Structure formats: C-alpha cells, structure tokens
Structure 1
C-alpha cells in the first residue's frame, strides 16, 4: 500500500511559510503583505503552543524585516525562495513517524505563467535540510490543487488537474493512478471550475476544503453579483452526488483589486495545531464565516486575519504554507 498524505488537522511537527521578499514582484503592497504573512506565522506559532514555524525569506533585507515582525520563537531562514507559495513549490510529506517521505513534484510556474529563481529547488532544499528522504515524482502537481481527508479521499478540480498546460499527455485515469501511487489517494472527487481570475487555473484550496473525513466546506454565494455563484453551486452538487457531507460557508462576495474581481476566499484557511487561521477581507460576511468554522473546529481557536495585500500576489495563507506532519 502506498504511503498516504495525512489530513491537515493531524498534528504537525512544523510548518514552512514563505515570506514576501521581492520588491519587484510585489511592488507597493510588499510591506503590508509582509505584515500580514508575519501575523499569520505568529498566529500559527501561538507563543509556542501551536507548532514550530520556519518562515522562509530571501536576502538580508527581507530576513531582517521578518525578524522585526515575528514573535520570538518563529524561526527565520534566509534561502533562495522564488515566490512565497510553498504549498505549490514545497514537497508534500507522506507517511508518518520514521516512514515520512517528501514527494517532490514537477513545478512549471502554474502552467508556465510565472518563473522565479528558486521555485524549482526550494522544495527539495527544505525537505533535505529537515532530514527527510526525497522522492522525485515525474509529473507536475501543485499542493494547492488537491485536498485530502486522510482516509484515501481527495478533492480537486478539472479546471486545474486536467488543464493541458500542466500534464498534456495525462488523462483523468492516468492522474488518478499517479495520485494513488504518490499520495495514497484511492478515491478522487472531481469538481469543475475554480474561482474566476485565479491564475492557478482553479486550485481547490480556494473552493472546497475537508474539515473531517468525507466532510467538505464549500462557499455559498449570498449576493447577486458574486462572480463565482455558479462555480459554488456546481461544486455543492458534485460533492453531494459523490456522497460527501457538505457544509456551506458564506462566500466573501465580489472582491475587486484594481477594478477586477479577484479570488478572495475564506477556504484558504490553514489548520494549525492550536488555531485555524482564516483570511478575511473586510467583507460583511467575515464574521459569519469565522463563526461557522468555530463550530466545525471546537478544539481550535479561529483567528481571522486580513489578507488583502497577500492576495495581490495571487494567493493567501494556505497557499504560502506547507505543513510537516509527525
């Protein structure tokens, strides 16, 4: 039997989080994005009550900035990280205890859209520094494109995993076979499209997340101008038809930056050892989403943190992180 990717709510030994470092790539939002990611790191660390946090920055200036913003105990590392999205460029750990192995997947800049020095090597570098054996996997997969319940079930989107800009020679059955081989996934729920204007081609961690075995949370549009109303409704239908329990959370609603609707989503939360950290955007639905998650995670604190500056870079808290299970 293949080693299995564990669910995010299982205990973590540590987490890697990317820190915005490149002023050219980030532009004017850089300083605020740094503050928001540092606040995320501090919340996950939780004064030592949460988990060990390794914040990965690039260069002396960004490293010093991270040290200024982070609490004592957050480990700051200066490495050649490309963009901050370690969910996609970092390795995915499978197995537990002494059997843990880091799966190092191919990465092509989200369908050859973006290329930053360090993206190709940072996953292996971090895994080897942590002492894990690394297995190279001979196909392109980003961690944000799959979510698992720990019992062999995963969810993804056709929009991303069957996009010809990733693995043009692989069809649905081939991808399912590779997920079984590399991540121990034996059942795969295929949702349709991802969120509008998501440059990842619809990563599922913006659309649907497992909160327990066979139990998904999926947004629900509350406003007539929500650009993703049809996407959410279709995801609900597919998940329920597959046999999953589905809990609806309110969508952020239409959220614009520079006059364009962008993929702001509460689904990009991170499930830490002591807290669930949720991106919020000043929407009138922020409090309702946090309250719903509080019901689903009664043993963890629910912490909402602003993530609008981080979103200018194309993602949010979950996208910037990659956990290491025990």
Structure 2
C-alpha cells in the first residue's frame, strides 16, 4: 500500500469508478458479529441468509471477507464448508470491525481503463452521521484492504458512503439530497463543493440529485434503496402505488426529478418503475425492505425478497430489465431487520 502523493486528483490521473456491471475480481464483505445490529437471536437467524449470499457471489468471483478476529475466521470457514462453498474462492483479512455494512465503510475501487491500474479511495466513515458509535475500526477498513492488495490509496478527507452513490460508468453519479447534504455528514461543505469532491475522486462529470429515501432507512436516504443504474442510460426507480403509504410521496418526487434529468450526452433517462414490497414489518418495526438493494455480480443479479406479495412482480420486472443476466432471488427476511440488505453489505472490486 502507498499513499498517493500527487497534486493530481484521481480524475485528473484518468481513474473512474466503474459501474457495478463491470466484471469483478472479487466482492468484499465485513462479516457480521455485532449484536447491536441484529439483537439477541436475530444474528443467528440471519446467518443462513448471509451464507447463501456468500455462496451465490462465490460461484462467479472471489469473496473477500473481513473478519473481526481469528476465532471468527475459523467459525466462518466451518460455516462456509457446511454450506458447500468452495473455499478456494474465499479470501480473508483479519482486523477489528464494528459493523457489517461494507458498502459504506469499505474501500471505493477506481480503475484507469488506459493503464489498467487500480486504486482505492478512502472516504471518511462516521456511521451515518454519528448514529452508531464506535465506528473507528470500520473507518480503517479501506486502508487494510489497500495494504492486503498492495494498492495505492488516497483520502479525500470528507465523509462519504458507498450506498449514497450510484454510477452509470459514463460520467454520471446519482445521489440524494437528504443524505449527502445532511449536516451530520459534512456540515462545512456546500452542495457545489460536495459535487466537486464526487467528480474529482470518483472520476465523473456530473452529479444528479434526487430528494430522499424510504421509511426505515437509517442512512438518511441512501440511493441504493430507491434508484439504481442498470446500464449507461437506464435506471430502475422504486415507486409506491398506494397513496396512503408513507413512501408514496417521496418516491413520486424522486420519479418526477428523474424524468427531468439529462445525462452527459444530453439523453433523458430510460426509467423502469419497480414496485416496493408491501410493508415489511418485523416486531412492529417497518424495515427498509426494497427490491432495489440488489447486487450485480459476475454470477448474476442477487435480489432481496421478503416472502412478500410483490416479490414475483419485482423479479419479473428485473428479469426483463436485465436481459441476458441471471436474476438470483435470495431471502432477506432476517437480514433486513438490520436496516439494510445485499447491496448495503457488499462492495465490489473491479477486474482490470
């Protein structure tokens, strides 16, 4: 690992954050062990769904697992063996961790398409506005991955979360005002300044803004629960048809904004509407269940389902939208109690 000591930004050096459908070398996960996210028996109850997630990813690429300690690593190996996972596809980094949401505290991988180089951007992590201390161990995750992979690393010096940004690979990043403009992230920065950081350190040309996020999302409105790019000019956008539902108004506002957007090339977005599940309520708590929290990996598209009346409707829409890619529905009924799903739990490392 080496710190980048240059006056050039990643963008000026030719680096970009590739879209999720770019081929992966691996997907990185931080193995869950903290009962503050899945209290009591819920941690054990969610584990079979988490292991199924690892197995699905590993059938097309490596899975890098960040484990809190050696004992946890040995436990993981035993569980994966029992589940039938090919252990040759699993890599481990042993380091202290606080929580499981690798999308937000993990490394942001950039590539230079010309030189075939790879680097890591180490954004600051403050557990979604300081909601869940401590978070210092998770904040050190990008540097640990950079050291393991012997990749150069740069630290922009501001708070940013991977679930807050969505890329088309052609110069555009999509995000939400309720999250990135929240005073609990970077109160010293105005919108234009945040946009400059996004452009400089993700290698994009424009920032597109929707308004907010869904009920139960404790991240202040991450984009990966509402709107996802599936190719350079197409998004799937969550909608709620029930006007009495709390999500209806904000998702309609987002949809109206998406319809007005123009990409770098001047094109309008192709918008595919994706229904929300019927309320996913567990122990009286409405979770942020969303079919948009899928992970695009080498094997296919891993989609969270919730034993819900709208599961098959969403699967059918995504099968049509992702023509040529396998849709892999996996149960997330226990995972979602932690207020996130498969995309939130993972961070892809591109192949170069």
Measured in 2, the distance between the counterparts of 1:246 and 1:187 equals 18
Aligned-CA RMSD value: 1.6
Alpha-carbon deviations, 1:145-180, whole Å to 9, x = none? 000000011110000000000000111111111111
Residue 73 of structure 2 is matched in structure 1 by 63
Residue 44 of structure 2 is matched in structure 1 by 31
Displacement after TM superposition at 1:24 (Å)? 5.0
Residue 25 of structure 2 is matched in structure 1 by 13
Measured in 2, the distance between the counterparts of 1:175 and 1:24 equals 31
Alignment partner of 1:177 out of 181, 196, 214 = 196
Is the CA contact (8 Å cut-off) linking 1:227 and 1:261 kept in structure 2?
no
Alpha-carbon deviations, 1:174-233, whole Å to 9, x = none? 111111110012111100011123111001000100000121101121335532111211
Measured in 1, the distance between the counterparts of 2:36 and 2:202 equals 35
1:79-98 equivalences under 5 Å are 79-96=95-112, 98=116
Residue 145 of structure 2 is matched in structure 1 by 126
TM-score by length of 1: 0.94
SS at match of 1:140: coil
What 5-or-longer segments of structure 1 have no aligned partner?
Answer: none
Judged with a 3 Å threshold, the aligned counterparts in structure 2 of structure 1 residues 278 and 174 are, in CA distance, closer, same or farther, namely: same
Judged with a 3 Å threshold, the aligned counterparts in structure 2 of structure 1 residues 65 and 299 are, in CA distance, closer, same or farther, namely: farther
SS at match of 2:138: coil
Judged with a 3 Å threshold, the aligned counterparts in structure 2 of structure 1 residues 313 and 56 are, in CA distance, closer, same or farther, namely: same
Count of residues in correspondence between the two structures: 323
Residue 151 of structure 1 is matched in structure 2 by 170
Measured in 2, the distance between the counterparts of 1:25 and 1:190 equals 29
Residue 75 of structure 1 is matched in structure 2 by 90
Measured in 2, the distance between the counterparts of 1:210 and 1:24 equals 32
Measured in 1, the distance between the counterparts of 2:63 and 2:25 equals 9
Is the CA contact (8 Å cut-off) linking 1:45 and 1:53 kept in structure 2?
yes
Is the CA contact (8 Å cut-off) linking 2:26 and 2:350 kept in structure 1?
yes
Measured in 1, the distance between the counterparts of 2:71 and 2:337 equals 21
What 5-or-longer segments of structure 2 have no aligned partner?
Answer: 1-10, 262-267
In our comparison, the structure showing a higher alpha carbon Rg is 2
SS at match of 2:254: helix
Is the CA contact (8 Å cut-off) linking 2:104 and 2:162 kept in structure 1?
yes
- Displaced runs of 4 or more, over 6 A: none
Residue 340 of structure 2 is matched in structure 1 by 315
Measured in 2, the distance between the counterparts of 1:298 and 1:68 equals 36
Alignment partner of 1:139 out of 158, 172, 192 = 158
Displacement after TM superposition at 1:59 (Å)? 3.1
Alignment partner of 1:290 out of 300, 308, 315 = 315
SS at match of 2:204: coil
Measured in 2, the distance between the counterparts of 1:155 and 1:307 equals 25
Residue 230 of structure 1 is matched in structure 2 by 249
TM-score by length of 2: 0.87
Measured in 1, the distance between the counterparts of 2:48 and 2:71 equals 14
